[in-house]
Structure 1
Amino acid sequence: MPRFRYIFTNRNFCVLWLSQIVSNFGDRLNQMALIALVTKLSPHSSFSLALLFSFMVIPVFVIGPVAGTYIDRWDKRKIMIISDILRGLLVAAIPVMLIFFKSLIPVYVIVLIVFSLTRFFLPSKMAIIPELVSKDELLIANSLTSTTRMIATVLGLVCAGLLVKFIGVSAGFYIDALTYFISGALIALINTRGPSRIKEQITIAREAFGSALKGSVLSQIKEGINYLKGTPNMRFVMKVSLLLMGGVGAISVVSIVFVQEALGTVTIDLGFLGMMLAGGLFIGTLFYGRMGSKLSKEKVIFSSFIASGIMIIAFVFLIMNTHSWILGWILLALLGVVASPILISANTLIHEAMPAGLGGRIFSAVEIVWHLALIVAMLSASIMSEYVGNAAILVLCGAVFVVSGIHGVSKSNKNPAPL
């Protein structure tokens, strides 16, 4: 199993990884600047914020399925470059629009277009990884990609929030635009013609590309859905995605209020808790990236769910009774360590089973499942918390993780094949 230092000798993957760091920070900066703008122009309006989040999410379900088909037809590298350039131009246009319009409607239109372009960018980024690394490097590549995204999200929200606060909303948009341009420039340095796993399947790739050009968009969407339904590994990953993102959605809604009530915290203190979680994710990635090839990915996923559930339940009860910041930091760091293998293993299973020519549709479908699970879980948890409390929701999420993990481990021992 290649170690991390070997994957960093892969120039193409390193460039993609660096562009991901830049673009992830840009995404968080964009979100914080948009929230600050909406609250400034429409203060105390939950409806305005709800509209903003709706325009961010709608493209996942409307554009995602169609985007996946075209991603499989077109050059993924060029898709990412064009997406970054267009997103940069559109984001830079927001402060200019505000000079002529005081309404939020033009902003909502730009947000809808930007997040529609993101539906082309993200699946392309995930689908191109097998073209840049060999099959035995997939686990480490996914370890770095998945965890970099998680860490950048946590740290990016903290840094972006402070940046917008001190330099202003308009300057935040301009810096955000710059990050998209830098990301596009880095991706332009990628050479997909080099040695890759795709070259091992060149005949299959040509046949898949040829059939994609001949088929209609709707028929190709149906083909991708049928592949997901008919492939055991893909069905397994879909179930894991529903469980994981459903839990994340429910936890994200109630955890902030729970921590504020239990520890009497302020927003900046929540940032430190997030940093401890990010640190745990990073450590877990390093460990799993080096040792993961020796383990069954399915059993690792189930075991991680069990350990994550235990950590969540322990966090709730210990924080409620001790009100200790130090204990909270330790438990969240441990949660990051044990949770990090779940998404890494799931993405690696997709890459290993993914045929050439279907990557865009597959990862677009995965994104839809993620967001659908997030939205349903967030809505359900927010309603339930009014009746049973935030702590009860967190304990329930932890218990579901534990029970699902135990069930999965016992079933995989009887039948090693994915469910």
Structure 2
Amino acid sequence: MDQVQTASAAEGGFKPLLRNRKYLLLVAAQLVSNMGEWLYFIALLTLVGLKWQATPWEITAMTLCMAIPIMIGGPIAGMLGDRYERKKIMIVSDVVRAALLVGMIFAGNLIQIYILLVAKGLMDVLFSPAKSGKIKEIVDPKYMDQAVTISSTIEQTSKIIGPSLGGLLLALFGIQLCFIIDAGAFVVSALLLLGVPGKIRKQPNVEASPLHIEAERQTPVKKSFFKEIGEGLQMIYSIPLLLGGVVTICMVLLVLQMADSQIVTLFRMIPDVSEDLLGYCISASGVGTLLAAMFVRKLKWGTLTKMGLGAVATGLVFAVCAVVVVAKLPHLVQGVALFGSFFLAGIGVGFVLVPFQMLLMKRTPEHMTSRVFGTVNSLTSAAVIVGPTIGGLMITGMGAVPTYIIAGLGTATVGAVLLCLKKNIVKKDELDSKPASIALTSETAAM
């Protein structure tokens, strides 16, 4: 029966989702919100880095103010997303973020910016798990892969278009009006969400852990605050395939951020480097990830295989980037090599991130979606915070090129280890899932 449904979903492509008005409103809100995120980020960097001439440590503190709320607040946001109405959470998040962005216009020093960033980070962390849970509510499981693909494509597209549009708006209207436009984007997102229905109860997730299938059917009971937060981590631990994916994604982000956070330091080593080269390379990475998001679901490989190969490819390309920077090549050849390397690295990142997002959607019960996504956001945010710290220490001690080579080879090693262990992980996952399949089959026969 599952094979027939999968085949039917594949034949239908994206058409069923395009007829799903609820889903279209949700992803439209996501698109507007994501675009606003990138417009705001560039305006903020321009204000703090260029107009106020902030020091590197002050810019680092700004980055931490954005990341730490996600790391700490992820499980809490997930718990709230599973306990309360997700639509209302997203609307409140959008409205408050709009007000905070307007507040940045009147900020006169870095301390005020830091406070606004922490508050905004807390609202950011509320939105994402609630959105993921809402997708689970309104999309048929047969079309979940397509739904995740569209959502991932929107995220990558906004990374490509957002910076260019942000630069244009800054040139035309200035920083203050750019903040206002960003605030307006969140207001539009909130208005779009008004058309999304409220709580929708769905049938239990057949692919979920057998330990939670029965719990998903039971009438919800009140639990302690910290118990609900811990359940997200327990759910991940109870599904071997999900656990393997989470460990991999955190390790990849940790090692990659050791180098990725110091990309400017690496590019400064190129004699007479063009100021536009870094922007072109980042855009190339975004295009690569976008293409991967569009096509990776069509490959018949397993999730862990895709993630492992993506990590290996990304790591090797990062190591090559360091070699290209110090190689005595003509500027044109060097620029083309770096552009191509970042494009391939973007494809590799897409092979890691997109299958992982699909895995999260497919294997997490609807009533636990927000908690699981909130926990994952916290774990990945911790990696994003620790990675740059280690990278800064390594670059100070040994330089940018060795750091990039070590980080690249480390990422490739994580992928290689996953490829070696994937058979055991999949086998254990299948064994743990068998009782659920047997129970559901018996129940169906009894009915």
Fold match by TM threshold 0.5 = yes
Matched, 1:409 2:422: no
Contact 1:209 1:357 in 2 (8 A): no
Q: Return closer, same or farther for 1:48/1:187 CA change in 2, 3 Å cut-off.
A: same
Q: 1:164 is matched with which residue?
A: 170
The letter of the residue matching 1:130 is: K
Q: 2:129 is matched with which residue?
A: 123
1:376, distance to aligned residue in structure 2 (A): 0.8
| Residue in structure 1 matching 2:236, options 228, 232, 256 | 228
- In 2: Cα distance, 1:320 partner to 1:209 partner: 63
- In 2: Cα distance, 1:352 partner to 1:276 partner: 30
The letter of the residue matching 2:259 is: I
Q: 1:255 is matched with which residue?
A: 263
- In 1: Cα distance, 2:127 partner to 2:219 partner: 19
Contact 2:18 2:24 in 1 (8 A): yes
Secondary structure at 1:372's aligned position in 2? Answer: helix
1:265, distance to aligned residue in structure 2 (A): 2.8
- In 2: Cα distance, 1:263 partner to 1:205 partner: 62
Contact 1:77 1:187 in 2 (8 A): yes
| Residue in structure 1 matching 2:144, options 138, 144, 154 | 138
Give a deviation string over 1:8-44, Cα, whole Å, max 9, x none.
Answer: 3333222222222211121122223333333477534
| 1:3-402 alignment, distance < 5 Å | 3-39=13-49, 42-95=52-105, 97-98=106-107, 102-191=108-197, 199-201=202-204, 207=217, 210-211=220-221, 214-262=222-270, 264-289=272-297, 291-292=298-299, 294-321=300-327, 322=329, 323=331, 324=333, 325-402=335-412
Q: Return closer, same or farther for 1:49/1:262 CA change in 2, 3 Å cut-off.
A: closer
Contact 1:204 1:356 in 2 (8 A): no
Decide which moves more: 85-94 or 150-159. 150-159
Secondary structure at 1:416's aligned position in 2? Answer: helix
Stretches of 4+ aligned residues off by more than 6 angstroms? 202-206
Query: What residue ranges of structure 1 are gaps of 5+ in the alignment?
Result: none
Secondary structure at 2:19's aligned position in 1? Answer: coil
Contact 1:79 1:120 in 2 (8 A): yes
Give a deviation string over 1:296-343, Cα, whole Å, max 9, x none.
Answer: 111111121122223223333345433422222223222222331211
Decide which moves more: 399-408 or 379-388. 399-408
The letter of the residue matching 1:312 is: F
The letter of the residue matching 2:250 is: L
Give a deviation string over 1:64-121, Cα, whole Å, max 9, x none.
Answer: 32222111011112211121112112222332x34xxx44444433322222111111
Secondary structure at 2:269's aligned position in 1? Answer: helix
Contact 1:72 1:358 in 2 (8 A): yes
Secondary structure at 1:191's aligned position in 2? Answer: coil
Secondary structure at 2:261's aligned position in 1? Answer: helix
1:271, distance to aligned residue in structure 2 (A): 1.4
Give a deviation string over 1:261-316, Cα, whole Å, max 9, x none.
Answer: 23643433321112222222222222213x13x22111111121122223223333
1:384, distance to aligned residue in structure 2 (A): 0.5
TM-score under structure 1 normalisation?
0.87
The letter of the residue matching 1:143 is: T
The letter of the residue matching 2:389 is: L
- In 2: Cα distance, 1:407 partner to 1:28 partner: 35
Secondary structure at 1:199's aligned position in 2? Answer: coil
Q: Return closer, same or farther for 1:81/1:209 CA change in 2, 3 Å cut-off.
A: farther
Secondary structure at 2:367's aligned position in 1? Answer: coil
Secondary structure at 2:197's aligned position in 1? Answer: coil
Q: Return closer, same or farther for 1:8/1:328 CA change in 2, 3 Å cut-off.
A: farther
- In 2: Cα distance, 1:209 partner to 1:32 partner: 46
Contact 1:132 1:192 in 2 (8 A): no
Contact 2:77 2:371 in 1 (8 A): yes
- In 1: Cα distance, 2:85 partner to 2:74 partner: 17
Identity of aligned residues (%): 21
Secondary structure at 2:220's aligned position in 1? Answer: helix
1:176, distance to aligned residue in structure 2 (A): 0.7
- In 1: Cα distance, 2:15 partner to 2:162 partner: 25
1:219, distance to aligned residue in structure 2 (A): 1.7
Q: 2:433 is matched with which residue?
A: none
- In 1: Cα distance, 2:220 partner to 2:273 partner: 58
Contact 2:74 2:376 in 1 (8 A): no
Decide which moves more: 320-329 or 44-53. 44-53
The letter of the residue matching 2:173 is: I
Secondary structure at 2:236's aligned position in 1? Answer: helix
1:367, distance to aligned residue in structure 2 (A): 0.8
